[in-house]
Amino acid sequence: MWQWLAEHLWVAWLTLAALLAVTEMMTLDLTLLMLAVGALAGGLVAIALPGVLWLQITVAVAVAVAMLALLRPTLLAKIRSLPGYRSSVDKMVGSPGVALTEITAAGGEVKVAGEVWSAHSLEGNIAAGTEIEVYRIDGPIAIVYPRHLALP
């Protein structure tokens, strides 16, 4: 029984690699893809050396860490340098929303694109329930102004 499991462990490695790769399509973060390549490497070792589990795990972890440390940053930099690329945070600039609480220069909360954000007012106070627009994103804080205000 154990011998059979050791000889067919490659199926589990390849299944894990496939699941990680498919899940990557939902995140588009390239992290799960790097882990999938590590699992694929573990599967290749399992095919070549069945029964040597410690080596399979070592190779899978080493390849995944190397991919995350070396290849992922390079790929992300190339993607971000493409013309017309805008991150999801950049796309929030100019988005409409609504003030959930009173927004002052010190703080408040808004709902933009179905998400609740901490917010600061660009200028003056904004009453709860007022329609707002995102002026910029400053880390985890949306800088907003009332939609009826025309900015210069």
Assign domain 88-145 to its CATH superfamily: Nucleic acid-binding proteins (2.40.50.140)
| Segments of the chain assigned to CATH 2.40.50.140 | 88-145
Residue 2 clears pLDDT 60, i.e. is over it: no
- Whole-model pTM: value is 0.58
Each residue's pLDDT tens digit, 86-143:
666 767 888 888 999 999 888 899 998 888 988 999 888 888 998 998 898 888 888 8
138 vs 150, which has greater pLDDT? Answer: 138
Residue 150 clears pLDDT 90, i.e. is over it: no
Each residue's pLDDT tens digit, 17-75:
999 999 999 888 899 999 999 999 999 999 998 888 899 999 999 999 999 999 999 98
3-state secondary structure the chain: CHHHHHHCHHHHHHHHHHHHHHHHHHHCCCHHHHHHHHHHHHHHHHHHCCCCHHHHHHHHHHHHHHHHHHHHHHHHHHHHCCCCCCCHHHHHCCCEEEECCCECCCCCEEEECCEEEEEEECCCCECCCCEEEEEEEECCEEEEEECCCCCC
Instruction: Specify whether the CB–CB gap between 110 and 132 falls below 8 A.
Output: yes
Region 1-27: mean pLDDT is 84
Residue 151 clears pLDDT 80, i.e. is over it: no
Residue with tokens 């070396």: 70
Band (77; pLDDT cuts 50, 70, 90):
confident
